[in-house]
Structures are given as C-alpha cells and as structure tokens.
Structure 1
C-alpha cells in the first residue's frame, strides 16, 4: 500500500496517473537513486517483462502508454511526487 503526500496526490491527479500504475511501479518498477537520496521508480525493459509475465501481455499492451510513468519515493517509503518520463532516468 502506497502512502502519498498531499503534493503527490495532487500531481497524480493533475497528470492523470492512475493508482493502478503507481501500484505496479511499486511492485515491478526499476529503482534508481536521485541526487537528493530519494528513490525513483520507473519501468525499464526488465520490469515491463516481469509485469507482462504476471498480469498478461494483453493488459500490458492496452496500458503501454501509461508505462512511461515514474514516482519519487522518500527514505520512509512515502511517495513525494509522480509524473511522466520524457527522457531517460539518470543512473549513477
């Protein structure tokens, strides 16, 4: 169960990010650290394959445009913000 800040809830609503996608990010998403120490969750090729294996290729194909989402999670597990990726996630 994801815990969202008020800011994250507002941003998810403004950006049209469904709760299902945020839950999939939490379960299947790849993880990278950002410069501030928070964790970025996003779908890479491996996480998309794992998602497809568990929920089926038909569901993933229908929701493919929504898989360009990301969330930023604080150290305590709270979602800080979320949005849509337009470029690669930097990994250090």
Structure 2
C-alpha cells in the first residue's frame, strides 16, 4: 500500500471480507471521499472513480472486478486505515 498504514482491525477485516490490498490501493488512488461525522474520511468508488480506473487499467478489468469495487475504507485524520468493508447501501449525503 502507498502511504497509509492499516490498523490491525482493518487488516483483519480485509482478510475476513476478502478485500485484496490492490482494491485498498485503488481507493486511495482513484476513490471518491466523504467526511465522516467523527473526523475520519470515507473512501469509496463512485461512477467517476470506476471510469478513472477503466481508463488506467482497462474497462474489462473493471467489469471483472466489479463486485470488489463496492468497497469502502475509513481513514483516520492521521492517514491510518481504520476499517474496510463492502458497501451494501448508498452513502447518505452529508
């Protein structure tokens, strides 16, 4: 992963939820972000992020990894990944 360190909790959740490190890297490189109510930041893939990934790695790869792109990461203000998971619903607008 790039600059962000993962907490022990985030590493455990990524393994339990079968979220590969590549997807977390892509969240930092291409993902959209939204502020959390407690000062953290939520990274996720929106339509524009999926298009950016498609232009970089190819749309066929995005199509095959589509289910993994319903992933989010919560990042602390210090830059540590707190947790990762699969989005089951849309994120509420702030």
Q: Fold match, TM over 0.5?
A: yes
Q: Report the RMSD for the aligned CA atoms in angstroms.
A: 0.7
After TM superposition, give the deviation of residue 34 of structure 1 in Å: 1.1
Give the aligned partner of residue 57 of structure 1.
59
Normalization by structure 2: what TM-score?
0.94
Q: Encode CA deviations 1:4-38: one digit per residue, 9 max, x unaligned.
A: 00010011001110111010011000000111110
- Provide structure 1 residue ranges, at least 5 long, that are not aligned to the other structure: none
Contact 1:73 1:81 in 2 (8 A): yes
Normalization by structure 1: what TM-score?
0.96
After TM superposition, give the deviation of residue 44 of structure 1 in Å: 0.4
- Runs in 1 of length 4+ with deviation above 3 angstroms? none
After TM superposition, give the deviation of residue 57 of structure 1 in Å: 0.6
Q: Encode CA deviations 1:52-73: one digit per residue, 9 max, x unaligned.
A: 1111111111101100000000
Give the aligned partner of residue 6 of structure 1.
8
- Picking from 30, 38, 43, the partner of 1:36 is 38
